[in-house]
Each structure stands twice: as C-alpha cells, then as structure tokens.
Amino acid sequence: MITAAQRTAQQNRDTLFVEDGEVLSIDSFPGEQFIMRIRAPLCAAAARPGNFVHISCDESRPMRRPMSIMRAQDDWIEILYKIVGDGLRLLSRRVPGDSISVLGPIGRPFVLSPERPNALLIGGGVGIPPMVFVADYLREQQGNWKPLAILGSEIPFPFDAMPSRLPTPWLDSRVNHAMPLLEDWGVPSRLATLAGFDGCFDGYVTDLADRWLVTLTTEQLAKTEVYACGPTPMLKVVAALAARYDIPCQVSLEEYMACAVGGCAGCAVRIETPHGPTMQRVCVDGPVFDATTVAWDV
C-alpha cells in the first residue's frame, strides 16, 4: 500500500523536502564512526542511490552537513558518518527520539543500466554508503542484476565483518570477509585495507577490483559497469581502471559544500563537455558524474 508520504514524494520527484525528522537509532563503531537511522518519510520515499541529505547537526550550529544516504526504506533513511569537527561530534550525541532537520534528497543519482547487469560497486571510507544504497536498490529491481561490492577502509570498518558464505572463486580463499548486511541480501562483497585486518585483501580497492575484472571475458565486460564513491585520489584510479577495461564508470564526488542547493558554488569542479570545459556544482549537477568527464588533474 502506498503511503501518503510516498505518494507526495512520487508526485514531486525533483522537489527538496525539509522535514523535522526523528532519530530512531544511532549505532557507534570504532574510529568515531556512527550509523544513524532517521524517520523522514518524504525524503525516504523520493531518495535514489547517489542522493544525499543536508543535516542540521545541532541548533547551536547553523551550518548543515551533507550526508550520503546509505539506505532508504519505508519512512526512514540511514546515514553513516565519521566525526570530523564539532558539528558531527554534536550529531553523534543525539539520542533516539531527538528531532533533527533533514533537507533532501539532493543531487543527481546513479543511472543504473539494465543492459549492464554486472554492477561493480567500489566504495572507500565514507564512500561506502552510496554503494550499499545501490546494492539495496538493485535487489528490488527486476532483471538479472549481479552486483559485486568491493569496500575499503584504513580504519576499522563500520560493521562487524564476517566470513562470507558467497563464493568468489577468482580470489584467494583467505580473503573471505564481507559486510554482513550485503551478505544477508545475497550480494557478494569483499574488503580491502592496508591496515592488516583479518580476512581482508592487503591492498587498495582498485587492486582488488582489478583481480576480478581481469577474469572477465569480452562478453562479460560488455555487460559490466562501475559505480564508485570515495576520496578523489581513489576515484581517479577507479576511472583509469575502468578506462583500461573500456567499461563505463560513474563516480560520486566528495567535496566540501556550504549551501548544498547550488547557490554558493563552493563545491564546483571542472567537467569536460563536448563544448569545452565547464565548472559544475557537485551538489546539484552531481554528485554523480561520468568518470570520463571529470578533470582529475586540475
């Protein structure tokens, strides 16, 4: 049954909603990382993978903070964040029942191509949430989607990694730890780090992705697309990796932003177009871009 909030969101797909959300839960993880679930029915109904929200951390801090949406179900959304600065520290002190202002969903989402069902999801650090959202969205879609998630972190992962039950014959059996949530969904995932965590690949996410891509046939590569989010240096290498295998790649860029609605242009990046280079705003023209259009060396 479609709720009133879902009907409103469907009718206003490109509308930004300002909601007085309610904190439903907040879980802490090592490395000052937190996953917060917020009741925000309008935002939840309209959100798509790659969208983000602008959160008011505390009444004493007028500046909002942009947060990638990790999940959007029923009437709630989930965000993952790491404490960087006083605003996010105040956000981490919220408790269930607290009211919190949510603006969103913001930005252009990933464009998911059914003709390329082999979806390689690469997430690094706080770039993990959009990849979880893509995986969650794909499992609800019709078609022969076959996502594979490769996640990286140099601090403890924001979940309790577990030995996977899903086979990855292209990889050393000792690299067997996965994200439990993705495991429950039947989505294979593997973890990469230089921190020496048990069961993880010793290297970068791009090295691990390369281990998989090199095993694919020409026909399989023709049905593969890369979706990625993480630090800019990581995304630059992801873009080069996709280009080497001649497969499409969409990246969700991370930039500092103030207004998050296109007014200040503080998050502008250089994008190459058929008509020459332009400066585009990550908040509303992105955050998702075709990796081949991003001017990585600027």
Give 21-47 pLDDT, tens digit per residue. 999 999 999 999 999 999 999 999 999
Q: 74, 106, 138: which is the final residue of a domain?
A: 106
Does some domain include residue 17?
Answer: yes
- Provide the pLDDT for residue 11: 42
Residues 193 and 260 in one domain: no
pLDDT tops 90 at residue 297 = no
Does some domain include residue 113?
Answer: no
Residues 263 and 248 in one domain: no
**Of 201, 224, 200, 204, which is closest to residue 214 (Cα–Cα)?**
224
Residues 205 and 125 in one domain: yes
Domain count, the chain: 3
Does some domain include residue 19?
Answer: yes
Q: Render pLDDT for 94-105 as a digit per residue (tens, 0 to 9).
A: 999 999 999 999
Q: Render pLDDT for 61-115 as a digit per residue (tens, 0 to 9).
A: 888 999 999 999 989 999 999 999 899 999 999 999 999 999 999 999 999 999 9
What is the C-alpha separation between 193 and 38, in angstroms, rounded? 30
Residues 122 and 186 in one domain: yes
Helices within 118-231 (DSSP H only): 128-138, 180-185, 205-213, 218-221
Residues 241 and 271 in one domain: no
Residues 164 and 62 in one domain: no
> Which is higher by pLDDT, 265 or 194?
194
What residues make up the domain containing 238?
A: 118-254
pLDDT tops 50 at residue 232 = yes
Helix (H, G, I), strand (E, B) or coil at 252: strand
Residues 231 and 123 in one domain: yes
Residues 191 and 130 in one domain: yes
Identify the CATH number of the domain in which residue 220 sits: 3.40.50.80
Does some domain include residue 16?
Answer: yes
**Of 76, 79, 201, 108, which is closest to residue 149 (Cα–Cα)?**
201
pLDDT-derived band at 207 (thresholds 50, 70, 90) equals very high
Residues 219 and 276 in one domain: no
When computed from its CA atoms, the radius of gyration of the chain, rounded to whole angstroms, is 19
Q: 82, 106, 130: which is the final residue of a domain?
A: 106
Residues 178 and 218 in one domain: yes
pLDDT tops 80 at residue 13 = no
Residues 207 and 188 in one domain: yes
- Provide the pLDDT for residue 289: 97
Identify the CATH number of the domain in which residue 35 sits: 2.40.30.10
Q: Render pLDDT for 152-192 as a digit per residue (tens, 0 to 9).
A: 999 999 999 999 999 899 999 999 999 999 999 999 999 99
Q: Report whether 229 contacts 271 (CB < 8 A).
A: no
- Provide the pLDDT for residue 1: 40
Does some domain include residue 112?
Answer: no
> Stretch 129-145: mean pLDDT, rounded?
93
The vertex-41 CA angle with 281 and 185, nearest 5°, equals 85
Residues 142 and 247 in one domain: yes
**Of 38, 58, 76, 18, which is closest to residue 261 (Cα–Cα)?**
18
> Which is higher by pLDDT, 261 or 83?
83
Q: 70, 85, 106: which is the final residue of a domain?
A: 106
Does some domain include residue 123?
Answer: yes
pLDDT tops 80 at residue 205 = yes
Does some domain include residue 219?
Answer: yes
- Provide the pLDDT for residue 238: 98
Does some domain include residue 180?
Answer: yes
- Provide the pLDDT for residue 142: 78
